[in-house]
Amino acid sequence: MITTLTLNAAIDQVYEVGSLMVGQTNRVSQKSQQGGGKGVNVARVIVALGGDVIIGGFVGGLNGSRITELLQEENLQTEFIQIQEENRICLTVINQQKKEMTELLETGPTIYEYEWNKMLNWVEAQAEHASYFVLSGSLPKGIPKTAYAEIIHRLKQKGIRVALDTSGDALKHGIKAIPYIIKPNEDEMTQLIGKPVLAQKDLVQAGIKLQELGIEHVCFSLGEQGALFVNSLGVYKVNAPRINVVNTVGSGDAFLGGLIYKLSQGADPTEAYKWAVACGSANAENKEIAKVQRVTVESLLAEIQITKIKEK
Ligand SMILES: Nc1ncnc2c1ncn2[C@@H]1O[C@H](COP(=O)(O)OP(=O)(O)OP(=O)(O)O)[C@@H](O)[C@H]1O
Ligand SMILES: O=P(O)(O)OC[C@@]1(O)O[C@H](CO)[C@@H](O)[C@@H]1O
């Protein structure tokens, strides 16, 4: 069984406008709403590919009830912990003319100590049947920056493979606990390394270092450039297919969903890496977030090549 955890779940609202004009009145031509947050999206993709997932997280207030309701409508399996404060709304505005996305992300609720302790107990209970555990997204206020690191330590003791996809201090601390998979994008790596512009050789060097610390799959997602992967056998480059981009929000989550689904099925890592890129790209073709279809992913795979660029 795969479990995903979204500590800062959200209502993902998407607005489409002909062209977005800052400082002016913009009329919305279409809108949609989904239950979201990174771990929720990862789970949605795994289920679309044929896997089984439990979605964990915090929900509170009217937005929390709406998230639960929306995910129930999708028949996704949730085990949320109720909190006092209200979940956030994350807004994506799609500028149809420029094919550009602008995101406005609320900070989200504060989590109280007793709520956090409930979550740690829930994680312990999940550890009894999870084989993969996905920790994704920002940490809400009230939760220590070392939260993911603490969860990784606990899960690793039980032999569970943990994937971490976050940013800033949560990522820095999380890496020290040596998860099984990390998936930073270019911005997250820029922050982590502290260098404004990264060349491929910088990523390769950083990836090898992280892999040698013990992280089994170091995955750098690079948008339309595809991705770089480092494991104990080498460094791999995977191209992204050419697609008609509609909304890239959630592509990183779809990428992680595809990767974990294939690894959990026992696929060779090089095959799983191609599925990761195919799922990320399949997501970008849709307006809705992380609603990929397996047939689309399979057809994109034909345009994806993996190349070993360095032996280890
Ligand atoms: N413009 C694009 N064309 C083709 N594929 C894309 C494009 N943008 C993203 N992808 C696919 O999605 C994957 C993940 O994208 P990206 O690196 O942008 O993730 P991310 O920044 O973590 O995304 P997010 O945080 O919005 O979920 C890429 O590896 C690629 O396969
Ligand atoms: O604030 P976080 O947790 O880093 O990111 C939140 C978020 O942007 O991530 C997903 C897309 O990846 C959306 O569902 C959600 O709105």
ipTM for this prediction: 0.98
- Tokens (6 digits) for 223: 């948008």
Which 8-state DSSP code applies to residue 84? S
pLDDT at 128: 95
Angle separating helix axes 168-176 and 186-193, nearest 10 degrees = 70
Please tell me the distance from the alpha carbon of residue 257 to that of residue 49, in angstroms, as a whole number.
Answer: 9
Cα(310) to ligand 2 centroid in Å equals 33
β-sheet bridge partners, residue 208: none
Write out residues with Cβ below 6 Å of ligand 1: 185, 221-224, 226-227, 240, 243, 245, 248-253, 255, 277, 280-281, 284
Which 8-state DSSP code applies to residue 166? -
Structurally, the chain folds into a number of domains equal to: 1
Yes or no: say if 223 and 229 are a contact pair by the CB < 8 Å rule.
no
pLDDT at 73: 98
Residue whose Cα lies nearest atom 2 of ligand 1: it is 224
pLDDT at 312: 81
Residue whose Cα lies nearest atom 22 of ligand 1: it is 252
**Residue whose structure tokens are 């740690």:** 120
Which CATH number goes with the domain that contains 196? 3.40.1190.20
| Ligand of minimum distance to the alpha carbon of 239 | 1
The best mutation among 11, 105, 187 to test binding of ligand 2, ranked by most ligand atoms within 8 Å of the C-beta, falls on 105
**For residue 270, which of 236, 226, 310, 294 has the smallest C-alpha distance?**
236
Cα(221) to ligand 1 centroid in Å equals 6
**Residue whose structure tokens are 């309701």:** 69
pLDDT in tens, 206-260: 999 999 999 999 999 999 999 999 999 999 999 999 999 999 999 999 999 999 9
Amino acid sitting at position 136 = S
pTM above 0.95, yes or no: yes
Torsion sign across C-alpha atoms 230, 5, 272, 156:
positive
- Tokens (6 digits) for 87: 């979940």
**For residue 4, which of 60, 46, 48 has the smallest C-alpha distance?**
46
**For residue 231, which of 212, 209, 216, 214 has the smallest C-alpha distance?**
216
Yes or no: say if 229 and 273 are a contact pair by the CB < 8 Å rule.
yes
Cα(308) to ligand 2 centroid in Å equals 31
| 70: three-class secondary structure by DSSP | helix
Q: Which residues of 125-147 are buried (b: 16+ CB within 10 A; e: fewer)?
A: ebbeebebbbbbbbbbeebeebb
As a whole-number percent, the residues of the chain with pLDDT over 70 amount to: 100
- Please give the average pLDDT of every successive group of 10 residues along the chain, which has 312 residues: 98 97 97 98 98 98 98 98 98 96 98 98 96 98 97 97 97 98 96 91 96 98 98 98 96 98 98 98 97 98 97 86
The domain of 252 spans 2-21+28-311
Cα(228) to ligand 1 centroid in Å equals 12
| Ligand of minimum distance to the alpha carbon of 104 | 2
pLDDT at 66: 98
Please tell me the distance from the alpha carbon of residue 54 to that of residue 305, in angstroms, as a whole number.
Answer: 32
Cα(122) to ligand 2 centroid in Å equals 22
Yes or no: say if 181 and 161 are a contact pair by the CB < 8 Å rule.
yes
β-sheet bridge partners, residue 5: 56, 135
The best mutation among 7, 38, 107 to test binding of ligand 2, ranked by most ligand atoms within 8 Å of the C-beta, falls on 38
Please tell me the distance from the alpha carbon of residue 254 to that of residue 272, in angstroms, as a whole number.
Answer: 13
Cα(232) to ligand 2 centroid in Å equals 30
Yes or no: say if 259 and 273 are a contact pair by the CB < 8 Å rule.
yes
Q: How many helices (H) and strands (E) does the chain have?
A: 10, 14
Counting atoms of ligand 2 from 1, which one is nearest the CA of 137?
3
- Listed in order, strand segments (DSSP E) in 137-278 are 161-165, 181-182, 217-221, 227-231, 234-238
pLDDT at 196: 87
**For residue 281, which of 267, 263, 293 has the smallest C-alpha distance?**
293
Residue whose Cα lies nearest atom 1 of ligand 2: it is 138
Q: Which residues contact 128 (CB under 8 A, 6 or more apart)?
A: none
| Ligand of minimum distance to the alpha carbon of 291 | 2
Please tell me the distance from the alpha carbon of residue 131 to that of residue 127, in angstroms, as a whole number.
Answer: 8
